[in-house]
Structure 1
Amino acid sequence: MGGARLIARQVRESPLELRGWQGGIFDAVLGLVLVADVLLLPGVPAPADALDLVLALVGALAVTGSRRAPLSALLLCTGCMLAYALRVHPGPTAAFPVLVAVHIAVRTGGRRLPVKVAVLAFLGGYLASGQPAPTAAQSTALLLGWFLASVAMAVVGRHRRAYLEQLERRALEAERTREEAALRRAGEERLRIARELHDSLTHSISIIKLQAGVAVHLARKRGEEAPEALLAIQEASGEAMRELRATLEVLRGSGGGHGVDRIGDLAERSRTAGLPTSVTVSGRERPLADGVDRAAYRIVQEALTNVTRHAGPRPRATVRIEYADRQLVVQVDDDGTAAPDAEPVPGVGLTGMRERVTALGGRLRAGPRPEGGFTVRAELPLEAAT
């Protein structure tokens, strides 16, 4: 959205487009400048009485309301400044507040009739001010040029603002279209990968599971005890099929995959495979974002797989899930053979865990424990993930 933001900032560059406290400060400064112009410029007669002073103050300060009610402010300013010019000083200084009010009224799209009435009334007042005809005509012509310049600048500014707003809408639409196209291409790529995985792996894993099941059945039919390795192959192939189906559901966008609620099943399968595993959950359990839910499950799964492969003979594993205020903490410890001073080798599993955690804005610590064994600790921010 960078291009749209740049155009929107250009739209708001005009002081008349300021809002909030910035707009209030601009209005206050503008009112003070106009009051100083009417009353304090050298050579300008001072108000003769309180009425003249009130006319000057109200006429100059009326411009500060132009942002909210441009036409009302224009008519009030014109009436007061015309009366002030006729009573005190029919010079150009009394015309400056009216010039500003006319500019703002035209810039904000005010009706043409009130603007014309204000300009004609002020110019008519000058002509009827009692000045000598040449002087009055010269002053009126000068004021008319100023008014025309003010109106022209306002029209140009209004058209520029409309043009920039149109550009902003087009930029937003173009960026939205690009994002939709990118999402569509990503969805098509996920579907292609899902089809490839289904066609290539599902058949092979099904054959392995089927052959292992037949072997177990034949062994039991002969009255023999099925080998543990064969039973493990049968269980692992069934779990691989379940994992593959969950992955395909995620790729197709039709399911969220496994989450924290399935970690107990992971621990049970680890115990069946010969790895004593305990699970502890603490804190107030609550629904998790899909990304956090899947990442927690995958981290525990990969950590338990690494314990089985690398922790040595007869290790034990402990899984801790902590629901903190702002993060979900997932920690897997084992009492294997990893030495406290050994450097962990960043394999594919650890790299994948770190990528998952980093993508969610979390932190991962994986390394040997001081008392021996290995620990994996992931801190997943709940708010950032949501």
Structure 2
Amino acid sequence: MTRTPGPLSPPEPVAGAGRGRWVWLADTALAVGLFAITVPVSTVIGRNMPGAVEVDGWGYALIALGTLSLAVRRRWPLGTLAVNSLAVSTYLVVGYPYGPMLLSYLIAVYTVAAHLPVRRAAVGTAVSLVVLLAHTVVSIRGTPEGLLGLVPGSAWVAVPFAVGATVRVNRQSAAQARIEQARRLADDERLRIAQEVHDVVGHGLAAINMQAEIALHLLAKRPEQAETALTAISRTSREALDELRVTLSVVRRDAAVERAPVPGLDQVAALTDRLRRSGLPVTLELTGERRPLAVAVDLAAYRVVQESLTNVLRHAGAATAMVRIGYLPAEVTVEVLDTGHGGAGVAGPGAGHGLTGMRERIGALGGVLEVGPRPGGGFRVFARLPAPARD
């Protein structure tokens, strides 16, 4: 049998399990504090206000019921409002004096509006208002206030309800903003990882493809040289897999893998050596005094070199390449030149995921990327990244 939640059923927990105890303690402290204030103040008012009924044992019992029910206000908002409404309404119908007792009702209304859906909160509050206004037409020991009491009585509902609803809307907006921010960060991280995987896998497969073609060409005529190409394929695939593991460690959070260094310009020499062994004649020139760079800048500069040389392997045909790295006082520059025939039609600006990814990566760091054919043939990729010297 399925149990249908009634008006007094507890809603979904407002606070997380870790916070539940502290929330309950805070609400209990509020309830006890309000009870401790209401009792003496109501006693003084009852003794000195003309026409008011002096608070007696029943009055104190109603004060206790109304104020102490607030201890569970966030666990059972509607239940707390129902109990509080009956206690406050009975208190007023008997003729006891106005005072801090009404503050407990105000807090109960606010809690319902702040923690329940608008429709449920509005229905529950409307019913409680009818109960509360009973003292305007019925009075056991005093004189009913009549219609004149409707306006101030309604104000004790409208004001806290409006405040609670506003707080709830603001809380939901803030939570939605946090969700959207987390989603944007997750999307950015996925795009970054996808770009890293593209760079690593693309470069490795291009080098392996080149060596495989060489091996196939030499296998029948010069098998000893084909063996050299196959050895290069094995080494290149192993290095690509190692770098891929480092990249994917961001997702897996593998502590052992995360200790591996992030690629940077210091690894460009090894990269060019590997490509030379793969059959691409490439030279490396360094100008300026080498210095440590920010991790993001160092990685971006390395990826520019890697992606550019990968494009040479894929598109330039029989070509040579040159890599120039310049360390300037406030920036670092990377230039990759080739003598191939890829041309703008193959790898022109904005073409393909590789160059698009490079442009986005460099732009995000405040840098500039220039790509295009060289006068006289070949292709040029030039990147300038801000990298002020660190003290």
**Which has more radius of gyration?**
1
Q: TM-score, normalised by structure 1?
A: 0.41
Q: TM-score, normalised by structure 2?
A: 0.41
